[in-house]
Amino acid sequence: MNIFEDKLSNGVRVVSERLKDYRSVSISLWVKAGSVDEGEGEGGISHFIEHMIFKGTKNRTASEIASQMDALGGNLNAFTSKECTCFYAKVLDEHLPLAADMISDMALNSRLSDDDIEREKGVVVEEINMAADSPEDIAHESIVSLMFEDDPLQKPILGTTQSVMSMTRDDMINYMAKRYVAGNMVIACAGNFERESLIEVLEKSFKDVSIADAAQDRNYGNMRQNRAIRSIHKDIEQVHICFGLPGFPMDTKGQYPLVALSNILGGTMSSRLFQRIREEEGLAYSVYSFPTSYCTAGYFGLYAGTGDKQAEMVIDIMMEELYRLKKDGLTDAELRRSKEQLKGSYILGLESTSSHASAIGKSALLRGKVSSEHEVLERVQSITMDDINGIIPKVLDFSRLCTVFVGKDCERLVGKMDEYR
């Protein structure tokens, strides 16, 4: 296994994977700064900081950041999730020192000028408005906020228009001082490099990271224990249906069996829901199931977007398939097929240096350890029918079923769910 784990002199963890047959290198900085970490009045600050870091540093203007990366033929980007923020770059192996310097400069020396902040508020508000125009996004965001109603996981990553417009430079500086510290960071690198040279480069680039332990105030993952339904009126032609059921946190025994179960129910084109609802009945274009795992909690989601007149039929089929799954489980052939699909998609998903860096970086930050490709494939292969049958009672607990409807006339569908108590 060519995965290495090191620690810089200031305490920043480094995970790296040498892939000597590639000409590229991907480097990413992972920070424990997501929407779950935001306090009162800080909604969306993790994401806003991610935007601001591209607006210039003490050493580079925003234009210079873009032009320097373009000159290398590489790419530089970032994203924010509920549990972390990630900044990443992909370049030719010879340009690794410059990519590392750019990411560290952006994360540690951002100007955060008042003028830039005021301008960017408009951009982020437009991003919030854009998400509000997507009924599928609304359904997904709403199912999380319904299932984790009194928990930090329900906080929207983008924040709200009100929270964004009230943000100040001091708010960002104080948040970064608390979160952008050595104990909260992981640097991940994958591609063609020498381990000793990499550490030398990173020691130089990230020497100014504040030496502090990880913040210990992460307390989240309390899921609702009862049924709940939310109907959201939106003047659109389709009805968007989202179910939420209990799932499993990262790195727990039930996580992999649930992924295999989801694969058969609605995770692929050959799945039960896709075949029945789309192929046989022609009732929906988009229908799928999805397991989501956070550090301390997880849920199992189902989604379908369908015409208003077909909504009740789609709900019936979705619930029929859930009841059938609870009563009869999977067949041996389905489990074998699911495991082969999972292994294939996992391996095919690792055909770039960026996917390798993402996998090891996220795992090191959120799980505290890194699994090799062999270990992941072994976990998939070792899933048994007993494992599947063992998780079904917990996952398919309809006394905890949460439902979201987004559409024009959804009130009648709320009553429809009473049939499935």
Pair 83, 179: CB distance under 8 Å = no
Pair 130, 61: CB distance under 8 Å = no
Closest to 37 (Cα-Cα) out of 28, 24, 46, 29: 46
In the numeric block, which tokens belong to residue 228? 């709940």
Instruction: For residue 239, give the H/E element and its range.
Output: strand 238-246
Sheet of strand 85-92, all strands in order from the earlier edge strand to the far edge: 3-7, 13-18, 185-191, 24-31, 85-92, 75-80
Give the CA radius of gyration of the chain: 23
Dihedral sign, CA of 28, 165, 151, 315? negative
Choose, from 17, 50, 321, 334, the residue flagged as catalytic: 50
Instruction: For residue 371, give the H/E element and its range.
Output: none
Q: Give the integer Cα–Cα distance in Å for 287 and 267.
A: 9
- Reply yes or no on whether 50 is catalytic: yes
Q: Give the integer Cα–Cα distance in Å for 258 and 247.
A: 8
Q: Give the integer Cα–Cα distance in Å for 244 and 289.
A: 10
Q: How far is CA 149 from the centre of its chain?
A: 19
Q: Give the integer Cα–Cα distance in Å for 157 and 135.
A: 17
Instruction: For residue 167, give the H/E element and its range.
Output: none
Pair 153, 144: CB distance under 8 Å = yes
Closest to 403 (Cα-Cα) out of 319, 287, 285: 319
- All residues at 6 or more sequence positions from 53 whose CB lies less than 8 Å from its CB, including other chains: 78, 87, 106, 107, 110
Pair 124, 158: CB distance under 8 Å = yes
To the nearest 10°, report the CA torsion of 275, 280, 283, 286: 20
Q: Give the integer Cα–Cα distance in Å for 391 and 130.
A: 37
Cite the DSSP H helix spans in 114-271: 114-132, 135-147, 161-165, 169-179, 195-205, 255-262
**Helix, strand or coil for residue 42?**
coil
**Active site members:** 50
